[in-house]
Structure 1
């Protein structure tokens, strides 16, 4: 009997200790948002931070692995581990599962996302908290009142995610073959029909393919919201051009990377990207011809901001904050802007930079002939609200892909 009581007491004590540890972990996690930055930085030292990122672009991966990772180790004493994923929804599903089983020490410390994935994460309480204002570089260099910073596909970010970069949708083409690229949706439609088999787009859920469908909708109907009557006409349009696509639209490249391969092999004469400098990265690497160029449709070209956030159960929240702050530094953002690295748009405001940092950016523009970026900005239109994306993707699968 005494033995049974002793075992029971040991179990109760163990549970009490575990509960105390969990409560202590939660308390420390919450207190991070109340600490001074110097304390947070000290807490971050020595931590290993796992950043989960879509891995479909070689230049993105190399920027993170070859430039960011070594400097984060050298300057912050943080070990950065990039975890490659194919679909951002995989991260969300992983976090939902961990929340269901009440896993307090998750393996994801930073997630790279935007749009519908942010909306889904926010609705399911998968994000940690409003940490943005704790970051020195966010406060110093980001235009926090700009709509394309405050709102992610129409969703208020509420400080739960921090901008990482900006993008604009472009079409990629060979200027030696296409002398006068289409200027609007009507000219693009005519070009597709006049060049059968030489155009296609990635199938959803590929991000670029979904963006092409959304932009087509917005260019056709001049609306950033969905109406059923317009959707019906939209599917009619997509089916109208379908026989003129690569392989008569019987199949679609499964990713933007596969579309790039078709373009580089001259199976199609156009590709597309949500990064205006993507094509120039490919030229520099020798994957695309020197005659490759980009164009936008003057009906309007989609633009968005992509973000970094911290999950509710991130094990190394202090380290995550320190890494995100580093990625917002002028040094990291300038390096990311350079087409020799990633070629991604600035998340920080040029106007808030020092004269020295402005000069570095000006030199990148001049050296790489990036003045065209200022020209295509005239045609930027904001993304539609995240709530419509799922509707469009499911509609395309039902009415076009399987038709």
Structure 2
């Protein structure tokens, strides 16, 4: 009996150690956290639709984690972060509080809001990461994720801004504002489409039309307002339904992902693609998928920009290893590597001026691919992201009033 009790106590102690208890970690110094992390595994759930991003995560980050910390990175490709939020929620409802499936997730927007509101995020630890000092938390675009305060629940990874791509050999002068784009679509039947929400990129296009219908973003800032939504939604659905006969396949069907839209553009079936990450345009050209005459542009009335993050779920069993991974992702060296145009071209989420001189020189030496509009040019007409409540309502309204 005593032997059985002793064995049970040992098992309980081991279980407590394996869970890397969040409150215990927050009481540790960084060196202790690193020691706790060594030999661990991080199951990183992230969008898997771009080979170059997958390679950066698996090869550059995965190699550095194994070499420097003996941490194994298991990259788990996903198509929709909402599905992983639901997985974590179902684990919580089933009582899985310390041995969850997910250690780290690439996330932002309404999915972050859902996790924060449901108590699914590990919070209050980000200041422990040494590279947190590189983040400008006084910047509202960093401190708020689609209007929702981050407050130590996420770590920024990239900054992005929506842009359009076209083949300059086919279309020398694309429309430069939303009104012009809508007119162009009607004048060129079958040459435009967009992914059906809730695809992240397709949803962003619909939000641009919503902001256009509202006469700008000013009246849409702040928490969701049903009265304001109703006033703009009818105009938006009328615009989008009016476009349907002029879309690819007369709007009878929509691409389901931005990857499918990219394929239509590559095949010359549509005249435009678009993306939150314009660096993808240059990479598609370098890979021989898109013509070298591909060029990209923003809109005079603005395009939406935002920050994306990594988040540790409340029930991650490998929180210490996930924290070490986040710290690596924030480092000047890792941010520089993914900013290189041949790797990814991703805009950094840190203040370059706070990095070592060698990293600053590396950033200064990067030349933007000719197919990619410079981030500084896009930023001149940046639109703020709407709070997550607006996104949910717009996507649901599209499904009911347009997508049906």
TM-score (norm 2): 0.92
Q: Is the 8 A contact 1:200 1:245 kept in 2?
A: yes
The number of equivalent residue pairs is: 394
Question: Does structure 1 residue 348 correspond to structure 2 residue 383?
Answer: no
CA change 1:368–1:192 in 2 (3 A) is closer
CA RMSD after TM alignment: 2.1
Q: What is the distance in 2 between the residues matched to 1:330 and 1:369?
A: 26
What residue in structure 2 maps to residue 220 of structure 1?
213
Q: Is the 8 A contact 1:339 1:368 kept in 2?
A: no
CA change 1:88–1:366 in 2 (3 A) is closer
Q: 1:205 aligns with which of 198, 213, 220?
A: 198
Q: What is the distance in 1 between the residues matched to 2:256 and 2:7?
A: 51
Q: Is the 8 A contact 1:172 1:270 kept in 2?
A: yes
CA change 1:105–1:113 in 2 (3 A) is same
Cα deviation 1:105-129 (Å, max 9, x = unaligned): 1121111100000000011111112
What residue in structure 2 maps to residue 106 of structure 1?
100
Q: What is the distance in 1 between the residues matched to 2:370 and 2:55?
A: 19
SS of 2:175 mapped into structure 1: coil
Q: What is the distance in 1 between the residues matched to 2:252 and 2:372?
A: 37
Q: What is the distance in 2 between the residues matched to 1:370 and 1:253?
A: 23
Alpha-carbon distance, 1:27 to partner: 8.0
Q: Which moved more, 1:246-255 or 1:18-27?
A: 18-27
Matches within 5 A, 1:159-174: 159-174=152-167
Cα deviation 1:294-314 (Å, max 9, x = unaligned): 111111110010000111111
Q: Is the 8 A contact 1:198 1:246 kept in 2?
A: yes
Q: Is the 8 A contact 2:295 2:370 kept in 1?
A: no
Q: 1:136 aligns with which of 130, 134, 143?
A: 130
Question: Does structure 1 residue 378 correspond to structure 2 residue 372?
Answer: no
Q: What is the distance in 2 between the residues matched to 1:367 and 1:294?
A: 10
Q: Which 5+ residue runs of structure 1 have no aligned equivalent?
A: 1-5
CA change 1:18–1:66 in 2 (3 A) is closer
Matches within 5 A, 1:19-58: 28-58=21-51
CA change 1:36–1:241 in 2 (3 A) is same
Alpha-carbon distance, 1:164 to partner: 0.6
Q: Is the 8 A contact 1:219 1:300 kept in 2?
A: no
- Structure showing greater radius of gyration is 1
Q: Is the 8 A contact 2:341 2:368 kept in 1?
A: no
Q: What is the distance in 2 between the residues matched to 1:105 and 1:32?
A: 16
What residue in structure 1 maps to residue 247 of structure 2?
245
What residue in structure 1 maps to residue 225 of structure 2?
none
Cα deviation 1:263-282 (Å, max 9, x = unaligned): 00000010110002110010
Q: What is the distance in 2 between the residues matched to 1:264 and 1:332?
A: 31
What residue in structure 2 maps to residue 87 of structure 1?
80
Q: Is the 8 A contact 1:143 1:349 kept in 2?
A: yes
Q: Is the 8 A contact 1:105 1:315 kept in 2?
A: yes
SS of 2:45 mapped into structure 1: strand
CA change 1:292–1:166 in 2 (3 A) is same
